[in-house]
Chain A
Amino acid sequence: QEVTLTVADQNPPTAWGSVHAMQPWIKKIEEATKGRVKIEHYPGQTMVKGTETWNAVRAGVVDIGWCFHGYWPDVTPLSDVITLPGLPITSAEKGSEVLWKLYERFPAIREEYAETQPLALWMSHPYFILTTSKQVKTLEDLKGLKIRVTGGPPTEQMKALGAVPTLVPMPDVYQALDKGVVDGMGAPWEAVNAFRLYEVAKYYTIAPLSAVYGSLCANKQKWDSLPMDIRNAIMSVSGLEGSKLWGRNFFDAAEQAALDGAEAENREMIRYAMPTEEVVRWNKVAAQPLWDAWVKKMEAKGHKEARQILEATIEMLND
């Protein structure tokens, strides 16, 4: 018989990620299950707000949720390893692959998702810095600039780098940049494209900032109630493959879209990739110390394998 699964998604239906990641993924599931699974997609927070998606999945309000884990510090603290700044992440696709492999390899990480069934884990490429009035080339350039970031590790990193971390809600970011409430922000291409930030920010510096991650999690009971062949069919296009698809299509591919959008409007985007010596300088003040702090915090919580997880992460990313 036919099974209907509901998917709650905070991204608007016309957004880059909905069109290039969510819809293809849904299509793959429906194809892999030969039409036995029908996905009802509720984009744009119509079923549940982004901040409550994790709760909604666990409570069974929705069957599958697009979860952004940056909303919930300390809920999946070991997975947070992937958000440490200065990790050698070359692309979102690679990062998502490593994240899924970490999940498979470490029981302690699997334990963090015990109340749900993760179908895919995604992560962004490392955020870069965009600024409105001057290009950031060195640590000294960054000093004292008000940079919009989210709470947690990105805030800690900005403090360590000497910038002034500032929390501004996403809908206000465009005007905050335009009017100079903030001098810049840490961002992925997906946001530059979705919020047309190229209209207000000219300078883009590829710097070793932290990345964000999230998941597509299914309600555990609902998942367990599905026949085994359906579960296998869904996982055949999810899991490692699905995670890579999400990383690639949601984040990596958005770069070209942002560049095209800027070009169509004749906006100048000046891109600057920091030389290795400067990257090393940044990581010295704001990566290694935060890595050690993270390991220490996890060990204090009783996760003895924290160091091992960090080392495995770096090793797999360098692979």
Chain B
Amino acid sequence: MVTALPLVALVALLLLGVPIAVALAASGMLGIYVVTGDLAKMLGIVALTPFDTVADYGLTTIPMFILMAYFSASSGLARDLYSAASNWLSLIPGGLAIATVFSCGVFGAMSGASVAAASVMSNIAMPEMRRHGYSEELAAGAIGVGATLDILIPPSVAMVIYGFATQTSVGKLLIAGIMPGILIGILLALTIYLWVTISPSHAPQTYRVPARERWASLARVWPSLLLIVIVIALLYLGIATPTEVGVVGALVAGVIGVALGGLSAHGVLEALKSTIRTSAMIFLILIGATLFGHYMTLSRIPQEIVALVTAMDLNRWMVIIGILAVYFVISMFMDEIPLLLLTLQLTFPLITSLGFDPIWFGVVSMMMVAMGLVFPPVGLVAFVVGTTAGADLTRVYKGTSILTIALVVTTVLLIIFPQIALWLPATMR
């Protein structure tokens, strides 16, 4: 019973508002001590874990995927994407919101972090939608849920974290996210269209942009496409390994930004600083979660739970639905990386013992992460949209909660047709 005490401590610390990384680390330390009864051993693990976690070549992709996003944003690539999409879709009811979703999707191919996408799109798309009388709910909802596309469309920091936590091939995970990402984009556009059809007051205006301007704005999208094509080419021509492609991609984004998008020296410095801030935080959570993971490993709690569930001889689909229900509840309170790192220690062994595909479960986990990011009460992406766009959080949540329907439907489809995720990685053998 004492073995489970640190779990209680973790929940208590989280609820008391202790930063997530600290709560994980502190309860992890407590846990290792409780399980081993050996202070020196606990300090020994604490001494090795930080360096051990950070000095990992494979994880250079985390800061680099983030840097890529900041470079693409500061060089105006995202702005050009949005103006092209909105010029073409402005005729459709809710077209600007649909354009937001599509530009989020394309921006997702240049960025590894949904938080970056959310703040970039809030700056660009929100003023346009407001100007055309869109409701705060619809506008903020489209940005928020659209931004979660970023974690499914490669590159993706969350996928790297999943690979790190479960020793699954990151290359295959990233490819597996593409089709579900596109599917969410389409379903999200449909959901927006339905919403606006049912209650037109949320998107009162449609307007026509002259054909010349439409084509001109489309032409301005080429630097973004160039970046995406270069990154894919780097990988397929054998110039860079999957790990290096994050690094080279960031450099290419910077070079394209400076050459074509007016990215200034000051802009480069600010992008680097923001990258440091975000990455340092992610790694502090990783370190905390690794410590907590050591406690979980030593306590053998995951094995016991797996044994317990296996002994209950439940239908495997019951188990997965149960897991998803629990994920949904936890995801209300917790975001992206901690959610993954905390839960995978329990769910991954269970899922694989039941014969589910690790890559498929990676994609399904991303869906749960995506919901967590926009669903109240704690949704990091919703927070970012609220603060960056200056929107009322309640209205943001109303919008994201409605549009989460697209995520739920995609998850259900993924469970019924796992091929949606597994078909592409299978083609790469």
Chain B residues with CB under 8 Å of A199's CB are: 429
Q: Is the CB of A181 within 8 A of B238?
A: yes
Q: Is the CB of A59 within 8 A of B44?
A: yes
Q: Is the CB of A60 within 8 A of B48?
A: no
Q: Is the CB of A175 within 8 A of B44?
A: no
CA distance in complex: A61, B294 (Å): 11
Known contacts A47-B294, A47-B297; is A179 also within 8 Å of B237 by CB?
Answer: yes
Is B105 an interface position by the 8 A CB rule?
Answer: no
Chain B residues with CB under 8 Å of A176's CB are: 238, 241
Chain B residues with CB under 8 Å of A171's CB are: 58, 169-170, 243
CB under 8 Å from chain A, chain B span 227-242: 235-242
Count A-side interface residues using an 8 Å CB cutoff.
24
CB under 8 Å from chain B, chain A span 1-53: 12, 42, 44, 46-49, 51-52
CA distance in complex: A55, B239 (Å): 36
Is B11 an interface position by the 8 A CB rule?
Answer: no
Is A180 an interface position by the 8 A CB rule?
Answer: yes
Q: Is the CB of B239 within 8 A of A48?
A: no
Q: Is the CB of A46 within 8 A of B44?
A: no
User: Which chain B residue has the least Cβ–Cβ distance from A44?
Assistant: B167
Q: Is the CB of B239 within 8 A of A181?
A: yes
Is A169 an interface position by the 8 A CB rule?
Answer: yes
3 interchain residue pairs of minimum CB distance = A180-B238, A179-B238, A61-B44
Chain A residues with CB under 8 Å of B243's CB are: 169, 171-172
CA distance in complex: A205, B233 (Å): 31
Residues of B bordering A, CB below 8 Å: 40-41, 44-45, 47-48, 51-53, 55-58, 167, 169-171, 235-244, 293-294, 297-298, 429
User: Which chain A residue has the least Cβ–Cβ distance from B297?
Assistant: A46
Chain B residues with CB under 8 Å of A262's CB are: none
B229 → chain A closest CB, angstroms: 16
Q: Is the CB of B297 within 8 A of A56?
A: no
CA distance in complex: A176, B55 (Å): 21
Chain A residues with CB under 8 Å of B241's CB are: 168-169, 172, 175-176, 181
CA distance in complex: A256, B345 (Å): 34
CA distance in complex: A175, B56 (Å): 19
Interface SS, B side: helix
CA distance in complex: A169, B55 (Å): 13
Q: Is the CB of A169 within 8 A of B48?
A: no
CB under 8 Å from chain B, chain A span 125-178: 168-169, 171-172, 175-176
CA distance in complex: A179, B429 (Å): 13
Residues of A bordering B, CB below 8 Å: 12, 42, 44, 46-49, 51-52, 55-56, 59-61, 168-169, 171-172, 175-176, 179-181, 199
CA distance in complex: A287, B294 (Å): 44
Query: Can you identify 30 A-B contacts, CB atoms within 8 angstroms?
Result: A12-B167, A46-B293, A46-B294, A47-B294, A47-B297, A47-B298, A48-B48, A48-B52, A51-B55, A52-B48, A52-B51, A56-B44, A59-B44, A59-B47, A59-B48, A61-B48, A168-B241, A169-B57, A169-B241, A171-B170, A172-B241, A172-B242, A175-B171, A175-B241, A176-B241, A179-B236, A179-B237, A181-B238, A181-B240, A181-B241
B400 → chain A closest CB, angstroms: 35
Q: Is the CB of A61 within 8 A of B41?
A: yes
A170 → chain B closest CB, angstroms: 9
User: Which chain A residue has the least Cβ–Cβ distance from B296?
Assistant: A46
CA distance in complex: A213, B429 (Å): 32
CA distance in complex: A199, B429 (Å): 9
Q: Is the CB of A51 within 8 A of B52?
A: yes
B24 → chain A closest CB, angstroms: 16
CA distance in complex: A171, B238 (Å): 15
CA distance in complex: A180, B169 (Å): 19
Given contacts A61-B45, A169-B57, 8 further A-B contacts (CB under 8 A): A42-B297, A46-B293, A47-B298, A49-B56, A60-B40, A61-B44, A175-B241, A179-B238
CA distance in complex: A42, B240 (Å): 34
